[in-house]
Amino acid sequence: DEDAALLAGGFDDGTSEDALRQNPVLAIVGRPNVGKSTLVNRILGRREAVVEDTPGVTRDRVQYTAHWNGRDFTLVDTGGWERDARGIHLRVAEQAEIAVEMADAVLLVVDAMVGITASDEAIVRMLRRIKKPVILVGNKVDDLVQEAEAATLWGLGLGEPYPVSAVHGRGVADMLDKVMDVLPEFSAVAGVERTGGPRRIALIGRPNVGKSSLLNKLAGTDRVVVDNVAGTTRDPVDELIELGGRTWRFVDTAGIRRRQHMAQGADFYASLRTQTALEKAEVAVVLLAVDEILSEQDVRILQLAIESGRALVLAFNKWDLLDDERRKYLEREIEQDLAHVYWAPRVNISAKTGWHKDRLVPALDLALENWDRRIPTGRLNAFLGELVSEHPHPVRGGKQPRILFGTQASSRPPKFVLFTTGFLDPGYRRFITRRLRETFGFEGTPIEVSMRVRE
């Protein structure tokens, strides 16, 4: 039964696992005046203009929650993106590119009465490179007669154009049905959602590192409630524990407390449980035991935590067992095997005695704060400008790729996109990542830097 529960998605109380997932994101792109704002209003079911045509008004992004057929999705409108925070005029294709970067699918709006223009074609080229599902919409098809005009949009090579009239609503339902077909249930690109309530911690680590001991020590008499969902007969899965005067949610503690010893496939189930817990959490505490050699399993679990994109704290447990001899080796192990997570805060603890258990909260706070962080576009570009002028990209074959500008596409965890004139060397990208960390901190959070080469 337990195995079946694990395979069916883990120890879930039916609410928590999906709670941190974001609605899928649909970006609406197209050149000015094709009717994007009108279409946004139509989809949202309102009449007033969403985008005010006030010159000089700048917005980093314009997002709305939309509904269709009982499903929610996020609509990203690029109408207000004529200028970025520094007042630099972005090309239409670049604006679209930022939006597409943050989206699961794209609605490309073309003016069917005008037909295909060079701007439309530039956007299509960009969409081809990025490889996200695209729905082509021919707007301003106000009546049946005009539908024939929309057929010319096949010429863009994006398949069937959907003829709509954003003003009259014609064809919009069919278009939205198609949108729902291509959007995933949850977003694959948006960061983890900020939910209300206590921060969520996944306490993970291989068997016997001390997870249940630590949980007992932390919960102690301060354990607030064993969280249960009314009306279900299922096991409680999470525990609410008060630390540092605040309540935290330790997710999937049932998996820790119900000590399982499966003869076969124990590794498989352990990693499945680890992944389930990470899915539900905002921050991972990876527990390592200092009295034993860092094992492959330790490293694998740590890797799962990093790949999950959650905030990360390393806790070195069983410090009371550390002698001088072992300590020497431990330091070497940390240097060799944990070099790639130099950015994660470390705490040395003893779950048995409770030594240093109060050091966990500051580390968790630091990691979560950085995980949540968003660097304003202006500040990011000031940083990039300085970095590039001090350390320009090396010249390769007579060419020197330049960074035009960058933006933080999402947080939780922070993800950055750089727009460049050519491919950046992997070494140079690592350099930028390191500098980002040095300048902005980001202790305790993975960060991602990707690039988009401008044609």
Instruction: Give residues in contact with ligand GDP (CB under 6 A).
Output: 30, 32-38, 79, 139-140, 142, 165-167, 205, 207-213, 256, 317-318, 320-321, 350-352
For tokens 């994007």, what's the residue? 36
Judged by DSSP in three states, 385 sits in helix
Which ranges of 29-117 would DSSP assign to H, the alpha helix? 36-44, 92-101
Distance CA 42, CA 68 (A): 12
Q: Note if the bond before 413 is cis, omega within 30 degrees.
A: yes
Q: State the nearest-atom distance from the C-beta of 386 to ligand GDP, in Å.
A: 35
Residues counted in the chain: 455
> Can you read off the two tokens belonging to residue 15?
């609410």
Distance CA 377, CA 184 (A): 29
Give counts: helices (H), strands (E), the chain: 15, 16
Nearest CA-CA partner of 81 in 377, 389, 423, 440: 377
> Can you read off the two tokens belonging to residue 446?
């993975």
Q: State the nearest-atom distance from the C-beta of 70 to ligand GDP, in Å.
A: 26
Q: State the nearest-atom distance from the C-beta of 382 to ligand GDP, in Å.
A: 30
Judged by DSSP in three states, 314 sits in strand
Distance CA 96, CA 289 (A): 48
Q: State the nearest-atom distance from the C-beta of 310 to ligand GDP, in Å.
A: 19
Nearer to ligand GDP (CB atom), residue 305 or residue 368: 305
Q: State the nearest-atom distance from the C-beta of 427 to ligand GDP, in Å.
A: 39
Distance CA 433, CA 441 (A): 11
> Can you read off the two tokens belonging to residue 66?
């939309």
Nearer to ligand GDP (CB atom), residue 35 or residue 191: 35
Distance CA 141, CA 89 (A): 30
Nearer to ligand GDP (CB atom), residue 167 or residue 226: 167
Q: Within 10 Å of residue 53's Cβ, how many Cβ atoms? A: 10
Q: State the nearest-atom distance from the C-beta of 69 to ligand GDP, in Å.
A: 22
Q: State the nearest-atom distance from the C-beta of 425 to ligand GDP, in Å.
A: 38
Is 189:21 a contact under the CB 8 Å cutoff?
no
Nearer to ligand GDP (CB atom), residue 15 or residue 208: 208
Nearer to ligand GDP (CB atom), residue 41 or residue 408: 41
Nearer to ligand GDP (CB atom), residue 16 or residue 38: 38
Nearer to ligand GDP (CB atom), residue 143 or residue 438: 143
Q: State the nearest-atom distance from the C-beta of 317 to ligand GDP, in Å.
A: 5
Q: State the nearest-atom distance from the C-beta of 207 to ligand GDP, in Å.
A: 5
Distance CA 414, CA 154 (A): 38
The angle at the Cα of 147, spanning 144 to 150, to the nearest 5 degrees, equals: 165
Is 115:55 a contact under the CB 8 Å cutoff?
no
Nearer to ligand GDP (CB atom), residue 142 or residue 372: 142
Is 374:85 a contact under the CB 8 Å cutoff?
no
Nearer to ligand GDP (CB atom), residue 326 or residue 402: 326
Nearer to ligand GDP (CB atom), residue 93 or residue 256: 256
Distance CA 440, CA 449 (A): 14
